[in-house]
Amino acid sequence: MIDTHCHLYSVENPLEAARAPGLNALVVIGHTPDYARDALKLSRELEQVFVTVGLHPCDANLFSTETKTDLEELMLQPKVVGIGESGIDYYWDAAPKNLQLESLNWQLECARKLDKPIVIHTRDKDNSRQAFADCAVELKNAGWNKGILHCFAGDNGLLETGLELGFHVSFAGNLTYKNAQVIRDAAAIVPLERLLVETDAPYLAPMPYRGKRNTPAYVRFTLEKLAEIRGLSFEELERVTESNSRLVYQISQD
């Protein structure tokens, strides 16, 4: 199994969490310069840890010339396999829209320049679909073809744009929640070769651990649910999603 998206620094014992049995690799998200440095440190300690470097839309207030210089340097470090997470977040309203958009577009440029996938986060307020719609417009305009719609929440417009561009789609623990039929409907139609799984640990623990602290080993429960939705065996879906993860992040077998 590969956990394609986790925030391991905030798990009590990151070394132990990363060494969970059956976990062949994990991608730790460095979504500010400081978190990226932490993630890179962990990647030097553990072979199976890979890293993304970027700026989360909720941290877009940090977006400045200095931050860009800092992140650009970090993006060149060994074991960096992706850019982000970036995207649009109107749920927390933590940073103004113009900064979120500027930061996203800059990270899309970086991804293109470095030939790496961009990791996209989108979250809306109430039942508005504005973040999905705004994000789809930016992705379409940029036209970069390597990326991941992370923790996909099931928006048809964004899904269509992502798939057309060539993006992968990653499902998290909320796929297993009772009220998440919209997410399961999306998981049923994403082409098999674009499917990924993640934990987004320490958030969003899957059933039966909902509400508890999440950890990369729990990616198993999301895989189980996804296998059920797709009518495949656990082993088969594990093989497919692991190979998709290695392809999109360019993580070799040895």
Beta bridge partners of 133: none
- Nearer to Zn ion by Cβ, of 23 and 39: the residue is 39
- State in angstroms the smallest separation of the CB of 75 from Zn ion: 17
Angle at Cα 109 formed by Cα 103 and Cα 110, nearest 5°?
90
The amino acid at 8? L
- Nearer to Zn ion by Cβ, of 59 and 227: the residue is 59
* CA–CA distance, 103 with 106 (Å, rounded to integer): 5
Question: What burial class does residue 99 get, using C-beta atoms within 10 Å of its C-beta: 0-12 exposed, 13-18 middle, 19+ buried?
Answer: middle
Report whether 76 contacts 110 (CB < 8 A): no
- State in angstroms the smallest separation of the CB of 122 from Zn ion: 11
- Nearer to Zn ion by Cβ, of 84 and 154: the residue is 84
- State in angstroms the smallest separation of the CB of 121 from Zn ion: 6
Question: Which residues would be at the binding site for Zn ion (CB under 5 A)?
Answer: 29
> CA gyration radius for the chain?
17
- Nearer to Zn ion by Cβ, of 82 and 154: the residue is 82
- State in angstroms the smallest separation of the CB of 3 from Zn ion: 11
- Nearer to Zn ion by Cβ, of 151 and 223: the residue is 151
- State in angstroms the smallest separation of the CB of 7 from Zn ion: 6
Sheet containing 168-171: order of strands = 2-6, 25-30, 49-53, 80-89, 118-123, 147-149, 168-171, 195-197
- State in angstroms the smallest separation of the CB of 55 from Zn ion: 12
- Nearer to Zn ion by Cβ, of 183 and 227: the residue is 183
Contacts of 215 (CB under 8 A, 6+ apart): 11, 17, 20, 199, 201, 202, 205
